[in-house]
Structure 1
Amino acid sequence: MKVLLMEDDPVLSDILLDYLNESWDVDYAYDSKEVYVKLESNKYGLFIFDINVAGKSGLELLRELREFNNTTPAIIITAYTDTKHLEEAFEAGAHDYIKKPFELPELKVRIQNTQKLFNIHTKNEIQITPDISFLPEEKTLLKNKIQISLSTKDSAILLYFVRNTQRVISNDELIQNLWDFDHLPSDATIRSHIRTLRELIGKGKISTLRGSGYIYE
């Protein structure tokens, strides 16, 4: 399931991203403007919005999305403890509400419960493009609803790129994280894997920085 988190506290957002990415594919937005940018090219199974963010609040954003007939389940995070904001959250279209400070496992349980209530696909499905999704556990791409099997190494490389978007990744980093010491690949082998992935997901998704490595966008 792909999750969109909106949280403008940099410390809390880092903690949540590290924790939640262990179980789901989580995108991050600092404010409502970034949420709309993400929604242009991604579909999400769940929203997690903080009320108190810069600019438009989480509740204002959720009301707006509901007016546009976006029915994605939503969990609201807030430091407010009063009943008034709880009522406003549900009136705005939230499906659950969690108060700060909270334990990370509590948020995980609430997400899992929301998945059950709405019968959301529980597999770690990652949207690569509007027409291509990636199921890392099954080592499979779904491209225009056609299933394409990936090799173990191609799947591992793609998952590593997805988890490290917009960052230069060198051959050495890939080798260090994805290969055993006894079976180190050549640069040509890595180029071959990258070429295969580009053919499957589009050449523009993985850019080459000559002499430095690759960037997944």
Structure 2
Amino acid sequence: MRLLLVEDHVPLADELMAGLTRQGYAVDWLADGRDALHQGQSEPYDLIILDLGLPGLPGIDVLKQWRTSGLTTPVLILTARSSWSERIDGLKAGADDYVTKPFHPEELQLRVQALLRRSHGQSNQPLLKSAGLHLDESRQCVINEGAEVQLTAAEFRLLRYFMLHPQQILSKSHLAEHLYDGETERDSNVLEVHVNHLRRKLGRTVIETRRGQGYIFGTGTQ
């Protein structure tokens, strides 16, 4: 899952990026509201974390323009403002959730997880469930037919994306856009290797190849 973090306080941004990366997210970081306005509309993010107090263009104005343009990406706002009226303004502008500074990084990570699941029609349970598999996001492993299966970081990121998009044809280019940040070189052959590793660990039928189209998850399981 690819996230955009818009935060101008560098130490906080560094801390959040490190934590979110450990959780298996690909994160792009921007510190200016004008840059965020353009990039949020031009890149395929799964979720955006947006500070309200930004240089260039206030976060609330960025959010309003995103929503006016039709951007539906979930947005979690960060604010140092404790006034209830300002939080309401953010929600009215189109935010899906908010966190008031100071906050614990784990709180942010859990809110991100909940927003991503909700945006894909999944309930926020301890384990992500799809196609007979149970994914433990905190431990980055999967339970298949009662047995715990260990995953590499890359396998975990790929499987989580598949499990949030069951029964959907996903091309290699689409997967690359959502699994890697903007600075990482994207190689479709590497994705194919990870798909084959998941098949060996979870069964050949869990991920189907649609020739000329991509992959579809969950067609061979109940």
TM-superposed CA distance for 1:199, in Å, is 7.8
Q: Whole-Å Cα distance in 1 between the matches of residues 154 and 190 of structure 2?
A: 15
Gaps of 5+ in 1: 125-134, 149-158, 167-193, 202-217
Q: 1:111 to 1:146 in 2, by over 3 A?
A: closer
Kindly name which structure, 1 or 2, has the bigger radius of gyration based on alpha carbons.
1
Query: Which position in structure 2 is the counterpart of 1:66?
Result: 67
Q: Whole-Å Cα distance in 2 between the matches of residues 75 and 198 of structure 1?
A: 31
Query: Which position in structure 1 is the counterpart of 2:154?
Result: 136
Counterpart contact for 1:49–1:74, Cα < 8 Å: yes
TM-superposed CA distance for 1:22, in Å, is 1.2
Counterpart contact for 2:37–2:62, Cα < 8 Å: no
Counterpart contact for 2:27–2:181, Cα < 8 Å: no
- CA deviation map 1:38-81 (0-9, x unaligned): 34652011110000010211111000000000011111101000
Q: How does 1:10-159 map to 2 (within 5 A)?
A: 10-23=10-23, 24-39=25-40, 42-119=43-120, 136-137=154-155, 145-146=170-171
Q: 1:198 to 1:75 in 2, by over 3 A?
A: closer
**Which has the higher relative contact order, 1 or 2, with Cα contacts under 8 A spaced 6 or more apart?**
2
Q: Whole-Å Cα distance in 2 between the matches of residues 47 and 139 of structure 1?
A: 18
- The one-letter amino acid of 1:8's match is D
Query: Which position in structure 2 is the counterpart of 1:7?
Result: 7
Q: Whole-Å Cα distance in 1 between the matches of residues 172 and 65 of structure 2?
A: 35
The number of equivalent residue pairs is 150
- Structure 2 length-normalised TM: 0.57
The 3-state SS of whatever aligns with 2:34 is helix
Counterpart contact for 1:45–1:120, Cα < 8 Å: no
Counterpart contact for 2:28–2:182, Cα < 8 Å: no
TM-superposed CA distance for 1:118, in Å, is 1.1
Give me the identity figure in percent. 28
